[in-house]
A = this chain, B = another copy of it.
Amino acid sequence: MSELTGNCLVAQSGGPTAVINASVAGVVNEALNYECIEEVYGGLNGILGVLNEDIIDLANESQQAIRGLEYTPGAALGTCRYKLKRATDFERVLQVFEAHNIRYFFYIGGNDSQDTADKISKLAQEKGYELRVVGIPKTIDNDLVATDHCPGYGSVIKHISTLVREMACDNSAMGQGDLVSILEVMGRNAGWIAAGASLAKRRDKPNDPPHLIYLPEIAFSPEKFLADVQRVLSKERYCMIVCGEGLVDADGNYVHASSSATDAFGHGQLGGAGDFLREQIERRLGIKARTAKFGTSQRAAATHASQTDCDEAIMVGQAAVKAALEGVTDKMVTLIRGEADHYVCETGLTDLSEVANGVKALPVGWINEDGTSMNFQFIKYATPLIQGEIPVPYENGLPSFAKLKKTRIFRLLDPYQPE
């Protein structure tokens, strides 16, 4: 145990998830346990808040608000997609840390964010500024290496599987062997999220919806696709399809990029895969199809969040603080699944640089030979992650989420102009 007295700062980065705020709650609750952590700060809008000295006093928030973060979606501290590039950016971060005696930095995010955290940590070492940097994993995309899974993933696939179950009740009532529904889900380059929809099938009911899942990992063939749809419709009243937003053809091009679905900026827009599939079905099979596209609501679906996911998001936040207090730096907290049949999960640590430079692919061996469904290995992996429901409080008929009052601390430096 190496004693380092000073302040801590936590910030959130990248796309929000249903449980990213639970990790903030974990950091705050744990940080308050230690005397050598004097102030508990939050950086607003990710690393931008550090550059701009937009820093709030988290210890000043009510206990109710911090508790409320456990079921509040979005990023309560605000987030950003700003990537530090210039040397001056990194130096500014250290100036701000030094000005406010920030000695502990917890960055909640995906691989880009962990890369940023790594570079900050290394610069601090170079400059001889004593700083402990511990990353906290977060991404619905589930693509971070060295961790069994990522907080945020369990909730998004629980949400999508719930929607599949609900829509199946609707579609099975409407269909007469001629109804096709396409659900386009997030996941730009990996099929982790689309694959998760397979949890909607009941045990030993392979013909349950979703009938067909299309993943970025499998080169998309329109001919096979149309044959798949026809095969399902010959046996079922309806065909429910889940596709990732980033389907690619055999040459690695997005399937919808060549279609008319290019956006106003002239580039093929992600998010058109569902409409592309619909157009294929309508034009080539003459069957009416519908596309649903859930947008950012997927990653904000707190009312469908997984209790397991939420508990683990809190746990990684707490573990980051504990590790830093023990002297750890330049690491990210990981989740380690126990070997036993009964699911247990504990935390570990890995180098930030390892996370920064890797992407965890969906194992191709977990996809069935037909390329449109997942096998028992995936189901075994993913099922524990969606267990348990969160009792979100309702007020006047709607979920009531926490809002932070965000008391700013005084700025001590001159303004800075991020790129």
User: Does A170 lie within 8 Å of B397, measured CB to CB?
Assistant: no
Q: Which of A273-299 contact B (CB under 8 A)?
A: 279, 282-283, 286, 290-297, 299
A282: shortest Cβ distance to chain B, in Å? 3
Of A171-179, A314-322, A331-339, the one contacting chain B is A171-179
Instruction: Say which size band chain A's interface belongs to.
Output: 35 or more
Given A75-B173, A398-B200, does the pair A290, B264 have CB atoms closer than 8 Å? no
Is A210 an interface position by the 8 A CB rule? no
B-binding segment of A87-95, A121-129, A380-388: A380-388
Binds B, one of A158-166, A212-220, A221-229: A158-166
Is there contact, CB below 8 Å, between B293 and A169? no
**A162 to B398, Cβ gap below 8 A?**
yes
Residue pair A296, B399 in contact (C-beta under 8 Å) = no
* Chain B nearest Cβ from A196, distance in angstroms: 11
A291 touches B292 (CB 8 A): no
Known: A295-B292, A300-B167. A162 touches B74 (CB 8 A): no
A189 CB–B CB distance under 8 Å: no
CA of A387 to CA of B394 in the docked complex: distance in angstroms?
9
Q: Are B299 and A170 in contact (CB under 8 A)?
A: yes
Whether a CB of chain B sits under 8 angstroms from the CB of A371 is no
- Report whether A397 and B388 are in contact in the complex, using a CB–CB cutoff of 8 Å: yes
- Of the candidates B77, B199, B282, the one whose C-beta lies within 8 Å of that of A398 is B199
Q: Which of A58-66, A250-258, A301-309, A349-357 contacts B (4 or more CB under 8 A)?
A: A301-309
**A282 cross-chain contacts in B, Cβ below 8 A:** 263-265
Contacts of A163 in B (CB 8 A): 297
**Copies of this chain in its oligomeric complex:** 2
Q: How far is the CA of A12 from the CA of B173 in the complex (A)?
A: 10
A300 to B398, CA, bound (A): 18
Query: How far is the CB of A311 from the nearest CB of chain B, in Å?
Result: 13
Which residues between 353 and 406 of chain A lie within 8 Å of chain B, taking CB atoms?
383, 386-389, 394, 396-399, 401
Q: Which residues of B contact A29 (CB under 8 A)?
A: none
Contact A290 B300 (CB under 8 A): no
| Residues B294 and A162 in contact, CB atoms below 8 Å apart | no
Of residues 33 to 79 in A, which have CB atoms within 8 Å of B's CB atoms? 45, 72-79
Question: Which chain B residue lies CB-closest to A76?
Answer: B173
Distance (whole angstroms) from the CB of A419 to the closest CB of chain B: 14
In the complex, what distance in Å separates the CA atom of A162 from the CA atom of B306?
Answer: 17
A289 shortest CB reach to chain B, Å: 9
Residue of B nearest to A184 (CB): B293
Q: Is the CB of A301 within 8 A of B166?
A: yes
A contacts, CB < 8 Å to B: 12, 15-16, 45, 72-79, 158, 161-163, 165-174, 176, 181, 183, 199-200, 203, 260, 263-265, 271, 279, 282-283, 286, 290-297, 299-304, 306, 383, 386-389, 394, 396-399, 401
- Lowest 7 CB-CB distances: which A-B pairs, in order? A74-B169, A292-B295, A264-B282, A75-B173, A386-B397, A170-B300, A166-B300
Could you list some 10 contacts between A and B, CB below 8 A? A12-B173, A74-B168, A76-B169, A161-B397, A162-B303, A181-B295, A263-B282, A264-B279, A293-B293, A306-B397
